[in-house]
């Protein structure tokens, strides 16, 4: 792996917070050499040192520092080949943790964050439904209060990693008489609770990364609610904003990922055609522009929660991945048509590729998952550029009166 070069080392000199983080990372590595430490143990020690998310509060995996200092941690740990929590629990790490940190009670922070970070408890996102995807606020899954508990009935769909998850982030309708955004409440649901049924859904790769999830009289203690009753949309926005950045906002090492595979195959195959090289260079440049754009966005983020501009990285990431993986398959010539096996597989993590063929097929979904490219463009148009919004006739009507198919 290529080392990440510090873009602006002078910014860091003399910064006591940076020095503190740097020293803590060195202590972590000295006490838990990654090569000889089980991943969950290493990540547990990282959490306890406050190096999981440095901008979270002390005791919750953080140090109460500026979020951009997390890069110092990540860069050093990547060089030391330490385990990364994303691969073990992508949805929990990228979306669950920031949502719990922002809206959770003290006891929820204490209960959820550490095993989420170590990957001992995987999380999934229970938002989309058969009748509510882009317009997720129109969802129908119902939660009805019964004393200190809520009783949930309904169906979710496209739930990535539900089959290996301990907890799910569930948005349910608790007041159908309110307009769609106002009658929602957000819960953390135990995926092992009676009445939760997970069924595989197969993808174009042959794998079933995602699932249908059915809820039949599932009981959730009120203590597992995140945010107030009726505030589910506000809490969901934290999850959704982080989802976009989690999918499209990474700052990988320069020239790594899908573009590295393209360059490798171009070299291995001995291509000399300048037109092919020109295409490769255009893609490489786009990958680098995205990397630097995401770097700038992460440096500018003064608080943990990304804003609507996070959609820029998501759109660019989706289109770039599709183009790079299609180009790579083209470089393989006739071999590009051979796919290992469409046999049903149940991955334990999401978006991990074993070969360029799988990457090509899986990347088709990048412009759908986490919000479609069309919806991202709407967000950018309306909330970043200030263009006139879509006409929304159901916005202020009670949800129960809005016709549904
Ligand atoms: C691989 C993968 C993993 C996923 N994982 C999860 C998960 O873990 N949890 C979860 O909750 N969901 C998950 N999803 C669901 C995903 O969030 C939805 O598929 C997505 O939001 C789109 O919803 P939809 O499929 O219902 O399409 P629809 O909303 O029905 O959209 C259909 C088409 O209409 C377009 N469209 C819709 N509204 C507008 C508009 N206002 N303006 C312009 N165009 C519009 C869309 O862009 C799309 O092209 C996953 C999806 C995929 C593909």
Tens digits of residue pLDDT in 109-149: 999 999 999 999 999 999 999 999 999 999 999 999 999 99
Measuring CA to CA, which residue among 53, 78, 55, 65 is closest to residue 20?
A: 65
Q: In this structure, are residues 202 and 208 in contact, taking their beta carbons and an 8 Å threshold?
A: yes
At a CB cut-off of 8 Å and minimum separation 6, what does 12 contact?
6, 18, 72
Tokens (6 digits) for 210: 């995602």
**Cα 285 to ligand 1 centroid, rounded to whole Å:** 29
Q: Helices (DSSP H) in 49-105: which residue ranges?
A: 70-79, 85-88, 90-91, 97-103
CA atoms within 13 A on the CB side of 216: 5
Which residue lies with its CA nearest to atom 27 of ligand 1?
133
pLDDT (average), residues 321-326: 97
Q: How confident is the model at residue 315 (pLDDT cuts 50, 70, 90)?
A: very high
> Which pLDDT does position 303 carry in this prediction?
60
Query: pLDDT tens for residues 254-286?
Result: 999 999 999 999 999 999 999 999 999 999 999
Residue 116's pLDDT is: 98
Rounded distance, CA 31 to CA 315, Å? Answer: 41
pTM score, whole prediction: 0.93
What mean pLDDT, rounded, does the chain reach?
Answer: 92
Pocket test for ligand 1, best of 133, 350, 387 (most atoms within 8 A of CB): 133
368: pLDDT confidence band, cut at 50, 70 and 90? very high
Alpha helices in 172-309 (DSSP H): 232-248, 258-268, 274-300
- Distance (angstroms) between ligand 1 centre and the Cα of 310 equals 17
Pair type for strands 167-173 and 123-126: parallel
Percent helix, percent strand, percent coil in the chain, to nearest 5: 50, 15, 35
Find the helix or strand (DSSP H, E) in which 146 lies. Answer: strand 142-146
Residue 127 has a CB neighbour count (10 Å cut-off) of: 25
CA distance 277 to 266: 8
Place of tokens 């129109």: 138
If one compares 329 and 250, the residue with the highest pLDDT of the two is 329
| Residues with catalytic roles | 243
Partner residues linked to 153 by β-bridges: 142
Q: In angstroms, what is the span from residue 370 Cα to ligand 1's centroid?
A: 7
Measured in Å, residue 315 CA sits from the centre of ligand 1 at 14
Question: Whose alpha carbon is nearest atom 16 of ligand 1?
Answer: 369
- Residue 81 CA to ligand 1 center (angstroms) comes to 35
Give the C-alpha separation, 293 to 285, whole Å: 12
**Between vectors from CA 68 to CA 63 and to CA 70, what angle results, nearest 5°?**
55
For the chain, the C-alpha Rg in angstroms (whole number) is 22
126 CA closest ligand 1 atom index = 11
From the CA of 378, give the closest atom in ligand 1: 42
> CA dist 20 to 4, 40, 111, 122, Å?
20, 24, 27, 30
Residue nearest atom 37 in ligand 1 by C-alpha distance: 134
Q: Which of 363 and 244 is assigned the larger pLDDT?
A: 363
Q: Is 58 helix (H, G, I), strand (E, B) or coil?
A: strand
Q: Which residue, by CA, sits nearest to atom 2 of ligand 1?
A: 369
With 90 as the cut, is the pLDDT of residue 404 above it? no
Atom of ligand 1 nearest to the CA of 371: 21
Average of per-residue pLDDT across 217-221: 98
Q: What pLDDT is stored for residue 283 in this prediction?
A: 98
pLDDT digits (tens, 9 = 90+) for 156-210: 999 999 999 999 999 999 999 999 999 999 999 999 999 999 999 999 999 999 9
Tell the residue nearest (CA) to atom 35 of ligand 1. Answer: 374
pLDDT at 249: 78
Helix axes 258-268, 274-300, angle to 10 degrees: 160
Predicted confidence band at 248 (pLDDT cuts at 50, 70, 90)? confident
What spacing in Å lies between the alpha carbon of 368 and ligand 1's midpoint? Answer: 5
**How many angstroms separate the CA atoms of 313 and 298, rounded?**
11
The DSSP element (H or E) to which 378 belongs, if any, is: helix 373-379
Per-residue b or e along 212-250, where b marks 16 or more CB atoms closer than 10 Å to that residue's CB: bbbbeebebeeebbbbebebbbbbbebbbbbbbbbbbbb
CA-127 nearest atom, ligand 1: 11
Q: In the predicted model, is pLDDT for residue 92 greater than 80?
A: yes
Q: Which residue has the least CA distance to atom 48 on ligand 1?
A: 372
Residue 252 confidence class, pLDDT cut points 50, 70, 90: confident
pLDDT band at 4 (very low <50, low <70, confident <90, very high): very low
Tens digits of per-residue pLDDT, 6-40?
444 445 668 999 999 999 999 999 999 999 999 99
Pocket test of ligand 1: the residue of 184, 321, 369 to mutate, having most ligand atoms within 8 Å of its CB, is: 369
Query: How do beta strands 149-157 and 196-201 pair?
Result: unpaired
Closest C-alpha among 136, 109, 137, 139 to residue 47: 109
Please report the atom of ligand 1 found closest to the CA of residue 162: 8
Q: How far is the CA of 158 from the centre of ligand 1 (A)?
A: 9
Q: What residues pair up with 190 in beta bridges, in sequence order?
A: 167
Within 6 A (CB) of ligand 1 lie: 124-125, 127-128, 133-134, 158-160, 210, 365, 368-369, 371-372, 374-375, 378, 390
């Amino acid at each position: 792996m290529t080392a990440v070069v510090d873009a602006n080392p002078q910014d860091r000199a003399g910064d006591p917070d940076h020095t503190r983080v740097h020293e803590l990372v060195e202590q972590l590595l000295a006490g838990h050499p990654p090569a000889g430490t089980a991943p969950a143990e290493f990540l547990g020690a990282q959490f306890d040192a406050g190096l999981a998310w440095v901008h979270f509060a002390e005791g919750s995996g953080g140090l109460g520092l500026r979020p951009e200092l997390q890069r110092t941690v990540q860069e050093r740990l990547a060089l030391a080949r330490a385990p990364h929590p994303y691969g073990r629990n992508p949805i929990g790490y990228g979306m669950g943790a920031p949502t719990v940190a922002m809206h959770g009670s003290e006891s929820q922070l204490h209960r959820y964050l550490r095993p989420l970070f170590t990957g001992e408890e995987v999380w999934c996102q229970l938002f989309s439904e058969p009748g509510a995807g882009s317009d997720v606020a129109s969802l129908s899954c119902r939660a009805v209060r019964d004393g200190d508990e809520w009783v949930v009935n309904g169906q979710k769909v496209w739930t990535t990693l539900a089959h290996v998850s301990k907890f799910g982030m569930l948005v349910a309708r608790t007041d159908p008489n309110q307009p769609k955004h106002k009658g929602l409440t957000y819960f953390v649901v135990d995926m092992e609770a009676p009445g939760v049924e997970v069924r595989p859904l197969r993808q174009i790769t042959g794998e079933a990364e995602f699932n249908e999830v059915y809820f039949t009289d599932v009981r959730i203690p009120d203590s597992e609610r995140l945010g107030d009753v009726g505030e589910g949309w506000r809490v969901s926005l934290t999850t959704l904003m982080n989802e976009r950045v989690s999918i499209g906002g990474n700052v990988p090492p320069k020239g790594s990922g899908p573009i590295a595979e393209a360059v490798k195959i171009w070299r291995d195959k001995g291509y000399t055609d300048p037109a092919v090289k020109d295409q490769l260079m255009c893609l490489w440049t786009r990958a680098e522009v995205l990397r630097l754009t995401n770097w700038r966005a992460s440096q500018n983020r003064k608080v943990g929660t990304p804003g609507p501009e996070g959609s820029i990285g998501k759109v660019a990431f989706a289109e770039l991945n599709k183009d790079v993986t299609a180009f790579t398959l083209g470089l393989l010539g006739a071999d590009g048509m051979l796919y290992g096996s469409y046999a049903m597989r149940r991955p334990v993590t999401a978006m991990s590729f074993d070969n360029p063929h799988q990457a090509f097929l899986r990347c088709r979904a990048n412009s759908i998952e986490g919000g479609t490219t069309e919806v991202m463009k709407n967000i950018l148009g309306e909330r970043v550029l200030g263009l006139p919004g879509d006409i929304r006739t159901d916005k202020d009507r009670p949800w129960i009166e809005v016709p549904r198919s």
